[in-house]
Amino acid sequence: MSENTSKATEQTPEQTPVQETRAQETPVQETPQETPQKEKKGFLKREKKDKTAELEKKIAELEAQVAKDKDDYIRLMAEFDNYRRRTSQEKLEIVSMASTETIKGMLPVLDDCERALKVLGESDDSDAAKEGTELIFHKLMSYLQSKGLAVIEAMGQPFDTDLHEAVAQFPVPEEDKKGKVFDVVQTGYTLNGKVIRYAKVVVGI
């Protein structure tokens, strides 16, 4: 009895390492509860990734739309600015044209005043008639000058096709008078620097 017990006692230490080695080699098996949790985590991760990609795509689309809208707005503002300038210029031209036509219609009145002054200066009429005519002429001329009207200086000036219209030529003996205005048949005028009526002149040759 004691011999068997001794043998059993001697064999026990030899078997213990084998059992430990087998315990280490045995793979750890996942419990049924751990597998669904891992699958759930993987699904949530994929879902989060998909949502992030979708949001990034929407952001890119919105940024492109904003850039397009901004470009359209800038173009629209530029077109509106051009339209505003064009209409303002057209209004100014219309006003200027109306003013020009009105003043051009008054030029014959100035011509009549000049003729009346010339006739009165050569006649023996009373000084009151001369002064009254001069007063009317100067008042009318002053008003028109305030609107930009100016007389084209022609007498004794070199003939200039931009300002003068030759209606006749007259032989002159003096060399310094050739090619210059010898007489003014009708006074010319400019309005704000633009010729509205050429001066009709006689040119010396």
CATH of the domain at 169: 2.30.22.10
pLDDT digits (tens, 9 = 90+) for 133-154: 899 999 999 999 998 999 999 9
Q: Is 26 within a domain?
A: no
The mean per-residue pLDDT over the stretch 74-94 comes to: 88
pLDDT value at residue 5? 45
Contacts (Cβ under 8 Å, ≥6 apart) of 204: 169, 170, 171, 172, 177, 178, 179, 180, 181, 182
Spatial separation of the C-alpha atoms in residues 26 and 81, rounded to whole Å: 84
Tell whether 172 is covered by a domain. Answer: yes
Q: Six-digit token pair at 105?
A: 């219609």
Task: Give mean pLDDT, residues 116-125.
Answer: 82
Q: Quick one: which of 53, 163, 189, 171 has its CA closest to 197?
A: 189
Hey, what are 44's tokens? 């949530």
**pLDDT score recorded for residue 175:** 85
| pLDDT, tens digit, 9 for 90 and up, residues 31-49 | 555 566 666 666 677 778 8
Residue 181 structural domain = 149-205
Structural domain contains residue 189: yes
168 vs 120, 147, 165, 183, CA distance in Å? 27, 32, 9, 9
Position 76 pLDDT exceeds 60: yes
Residue 129 resides in a domain:
no
**What's the pLDDT at 151?**
95
Distance between CA atoms of 130 and 122, rounded to whole angstroms?
11
**Number of domains comprising the chain:** 1
Task: Give the residue from 186, 177, 151, 153 showing the smallest Cα distance to 169.
Answer: 177
202 in a domain, yes or no? yes
pLDDT higher than threshold 60 for residue 11: no
Domain membership of residue 156 (yes or no) is yes
- For 25-163, where are the E strands, in sequence order? 149-151
The answer to whether residue 85 sits within a structural domain is no
Is 107 a domain residue?
no
Tell me the pLDDT tens digit for each residue of 86-110: 988 888 877 777 788 889 999 999 9
